[in-house]
Structure 1
Amino acid sequence: MTPPLTPEQLLLIADEFCAAHRVQVRDFAALVAAASVPGARIHGLAVHADPAAAGAALARAVARLEPLSGRNRDFATACEAVYVRLAT
């Protein structure tokens, strides 16, 4: 089972990343959308087979949604690493 990620948890990750890399959150709705990806379910069934797959999907979503003012690909990689570490 892949655990969910709350928007607040993803915002905490973003806040730390932004402080370290001098960028800003430019789209909070994009953060909320990305946070929904790892715990996605359809008819009660998890969309992702395991935390690694969920983390990879989270990274793709962050990279595509570009919630930060810059360095979104780096942020996507960081999100994946944090999520997988916490979920396993």
Structure 2
Amino acid sequence: MIMAKLKLGTIPDDKPVKLTVELPAAIHRDLVAYGNALGRETGQGAVEPAKLIGPMLARFMATDRAFAKLRRVGSAAPRPQPASPGSEKTT
């Protein structure tokens, strides 16, 4: 059997945020297959599909050059400062 290097590694045990999504059945089947392959590669045992989605999205966003550029540009832009009490100008 040929063992390919998967893009995801061990899935960290992190506190999740509940999110409900609907996926096409084909994507769910692929997630199940990916979870099985990842489990074999990392020795974790099968990884359930719901635990794959977060790391996959994180990996996708981390490797999206256009998104990284937008984040850099957006973080460099000055952010409006909230007005402090009594700083309003009256004319």
Bin the TM-score by the shorter chain: under 0.3
Q: Indicate the structure (1 or 2) with the bigger Cα radius of gyration.
A: 2
* Bigger fraction of residues in strand: 1
TM-score normalized by structure 1? 0.28
Larger RCO (CA under 8 A, 6+ residues apart): 1
